Amino acid sequence: MLTGEATRLAGSIQLLSLTPLQSMFQAQSGLWEDGNLLTAWFESLNRHFMGSMLASYIDFSMLGWLLFFFTLLVYVISKDQWLRLRGELQHFALFDPLTNLPNRRLFEDRIQQAIKSTRRREGKFALIMADLDRFKQINDTLGHHAGDDLLTQVGMRLRNIVRGADTVARLGGDEFAFIIQDIEDYAGVEHVTDRIIQAIDEPVTIEGLPFSMGISMGIVVYPDHGEDVETLLRRADISLYRAKERRNCYTFYDKDTDEYNRKNIELQNELRQAIKQGALEVYYQPKVDCGSHHIKGLEALARWPHPEQGMISPAVFIPLAKKNGLIKDLTMLMLQKSIEQISDLYHQGIEVALSVNITEENLEDTNFPDEVAYILKRFGFPPRCLELEITEDVIIENIQNATLVTEKLHGLGIKISIDDFGTGNSSISYLKKLPIHTLKIDLSFIREMNRNPDDAAIVKTTILLSKSLGLSVVAEGVEDELTLQKLNDWGCDLAQGFYVCKPVPNDTLVDWIKNSDWKPQYRTDQTFPPQQAPQQKTSLNTETSAVPEPEATNPPSLKVIRNQQK
């Protein structure tokens, strides 16, 4: 039984089952019931076609009977065809054509029915919103046909998990949803979600190849978390977002999380304006040579000085930017600001490598290398001094785009670094496929290497692997002299962390470089004024790149960059 929007839709479709003759017969139903059937029918025809208000009574004849039976035969045949068409249209309007599961419209109708029936029984039911993990990787790698095949197989698995009284629906893309009826407690819901995770954990075979996925789920319970369709769906979405941060898990709705999300709506708008106005600042954390203690690099880190809340942590605004499609503009702003600021150091004779983090959105943009080349040319900063850091997971999930974009960046003379190396769940075979220059060992291993033999073994093995592949190694999270000395003994190239220096703003960076215990590196390809000349020679590698400077381009997607010009 349907209610609400689904009933109105089904009623509209049912009108299609009426043939023109049947409509006319129904309009004259009162006359048919009088007994003088054919007389009434010919009277109706006369009024319709002749426009006369005079009744013409015609005696029964053979021609009249023939015409009557012919009309009846046409009606029977056409009624069967229209009934079949009506059923197909009704099914198409309420079910997903790919998986044959209920679609969003029917699912919302089922929620309304569940609310009414559960309210009468004074019971509970659970609403689960779910997203497949890593679906985009398979869809982008093998194409939409393979993605459709995967969704079909997933739909069959999910249908076999729920009971007959429950509902599983596909809402669109890789988003599914469940209604679990008559639950007694939250443990009953957890039992179902555990079965869902186990079913999705089994590899799916696409074009003869096995693929592993995961599923993230947000859960609400009626009436604990809401008593109407809109509230339940909104709060299930909030719970789903929290689950997707960890992946392959489920979370129940939490009121504190909801309040936090509401505050984020205002914070999101403020972040959008801050990026547009160029109000975010760049802080720099130095990297030093483990042996010579020379300053060899600076990592650019985004900071947001909020006019009312003070300095907002990147742990807050970076996920917010990713969720709301602001991360690409934020990255381009950081690239422009940091290159502009560090190019001032370069033109003063101090040479350091600038490291900037980029994201998945940048790897998906084939124009990104041209945008970077434009910024470098604009500020006269050499490509050999720029290093772009990409996390291991982003590389693996976008391996095709990553290969294309990193090769173009490498062709410009820009170095590529793998950030948080060792924390991903993937094969390291990509190291020989991509033009990678540097590996950064994650700070979780560095901080424990003096206390945990396993972490120490991971650090030493990573350094050995990097050296065998001709890669540089950076250790992040160095917080004491002992750690720095061990890293140097094991062959690590560079170190960064609080022992070297905490991140510093640009306005104090030059003073720190000139006055710190760590030695700056000067350019050797120009003549300096006496007051700027280096007082010591170093054995550091200062060779210039043989890659020519990129030609200036003006890509159309540089609106953010041009808006931030001083």
At residue 23, does pLDDT exceed 70?
Answer: no
Residues whose CB is less than 8 angstroms from the CB of residue 94 and which lie 6 or more positions away in sequence, other chains included: 6, 9, 10, 102, 103, 105, 106
Give the mean model confidence (pLDDT) for residues 245-260. Answer: 80
Give the confidence band of 61 by pLDDT, cuts at 50, 70, 90. Answer: low
Question: How crowded is residue 496: how many other Cβ atoms within 10 Å of its Cβ?
Answer: 25
CA distances from 133 to 167, 214, 247, 421 (A): 21, 5, 7, 21
At residue 503, does pLDDT exceed 50?
Answer: yes
pLDDT value at position 83?
Answer: 66
Q: At what angle do helices 135-142 and 144-161 cross, to 10 degrees?
A: 140
At residue 173, does pLDDT exceed 50?
Answer: yes
pLDDT value at position 37?
Answer: 47
At residue 377, does pLDDT exceed 60?
Answer: yes
At residue 60, does pLDDT exceed 70?
Answer: no
- Which has more confidence, 96 or 31? 96
At residue 55, does pLDDT exceed 60?
Answer: no
pLDDT digits (tens, 9 = 90+) for 261-311: 667 778 888 999 999 999 999 999 999 999 999 999 999 999 999 999 999
- Which has more confidence, 525 or 415? 415
Question: Residue 467 burial by CB count (10 A; 0-12/13-18/19+): exposed, middle or buried?
Answer: middle
d(CA 435, CA 21): 74
At residue 66, does pLDDT exceed 80?
Answer: no
CA distances from 254 to 220, 241, 265, 337 (A): 9, 12, 17, 39
> Which amino acid, 515?
N
pLDDT value at position 73?
Answer: 66
Give the confidence band of 417 by pLDDT, cuts at 50, 70, 90. Answer: very high
**Which among 207, 283, 234, 290 is positioned nearest to 111, based on CA atoms?**
234
At residue 5, does pLDDT exceed 60?
Answer: no
Instruction: Note whether 113 and 125 are within 8 A (CB).
Output: no
pLDDT value at position 346?
Answer: 92
pTM: 0.60
Judged by average pLDDT, the poorest of 101-110, 371-380, 510-519 is: 510-519
pLDDT value at position 364?
Answer: 85
Eight-class DSSP state of 428 = G
Question: Residue 515 burial by CB count (10 A; 0-12/13-18/19+): exposed, middle or buried?
Answer: exposed
**Which among 475, 479, 480, 388 is positioned nearest to 434, based on CA atoms?**
388
Q: Token pair of 259, please?
A: 């309040």
Give the mean model confidence (pLDDT) for residues 200-209. Answer: 84
Q: Token pair of 491, please?
A: 């062959």
Going along 426-525, which residue ranges are E strands? 438-441, 472-476, 494-496, 504-505
Instruction: Note whether 340 and 303 are within 8 A (CB).
Output: no
pLDDT value at position 195?
Answer: 93
At residue 259, does pLDDT exceed 80?
Answer: no
- β-strand pairing of 214-222 with 472-476: unpaired
Place of tokens 């044959």: 100
pLDDT digits (tens, 9 = 90+) for 297-349: 999 999 999 999 999 999 889 988 987 789 999 999 999 999 999 999 999 88
Judged by average pLDDT, the poorest of 168-172, 228-232, 245-249 is: 245-249
Q: Token pair of 63, please?
A: 């021609």
pLDDT digits (tens, 9 = 90+) for 73-119: 666 666 666 666 666 677 778 899 899 999 999 999 999 999 999 99
d(CA 150, CA 163): 23
pLDDT value at position 135?
Answer: 83
Instruction: Note whether 397 and 136 are within 8 A (CB).
Output: yes
Q: Long-range CB contacts (< 8 A, 24+ apart) of 316-323?
A: 316/267, 317/267, 317/271, 319/245, 320/264, 320/267, 320/268, 320/271, 321/271, 321/275, 322/359, 323/241
pLDDT value at position 6?
Answer: 45
Judged by average pLDDT, the poorest of 24-28, 71-75, 327-331, 484-488 is: 24-28
**Residue percentage of the chain with pLDDT more than 70:** 75
- Which has more confidence, 514 or 533? 514
Going along 317-362, which residue ranges are E strands? 353-357
pLDDT value at position 87?
Answer: 67
Residues whose CB is less than 8 angstroms from the CB of residue 480 and which lie 6 or more positions away in sequence, other chains included: 450, 499
How big is the CA angle at 114 (ends 109 and 115), to the nearest 5 degrees? Answer: 100
CA distances from 147 to 98, 129, 142, 401 (A): 11, 20, 8, 18
Give the confidence band of 64 by pLDDT, cuts at 50, 70, 90. Answer: low
At residue 426, does pLDDT exceed 70?
Answer: no
Omega before residue 305 within 30° of 0, cis: no
Give the confidence band of 257 by pLDDT, cuts at 50, 70, 90. Answer: low
At residue 562, does pLDDT exceed 70?
Answer: no
- Which has more confidence, 35 or 188? 188
pLDDT value at position 420?
Answer: 81
State the SS3 of 46-58: HHHHHCCCCCCCC
pLDDT value at position 28?
Answer: 40
d(CA 152, CA 203): 14
At residue 212, does pLDDT exceed 50?
Answer: yes
pLDDT value at position 264?
Answer: 74
Question: How crowded is residue 363: how many other Cβ atoms within 10 Å of its Cβ?
Answer: 22
d(CA 411, CA 383): 10
Q: At what angle do helices 37-50 and 62-94 cross, to 10 degrees?
A: 80
At residue 542, does pLDDT exceed 50?
Answer: no
**DSSP 3-state assignment of 440?**
strand
Judged by average pLDDT, the poorest of 101-105, 503-507, 538-542 is: 538-542
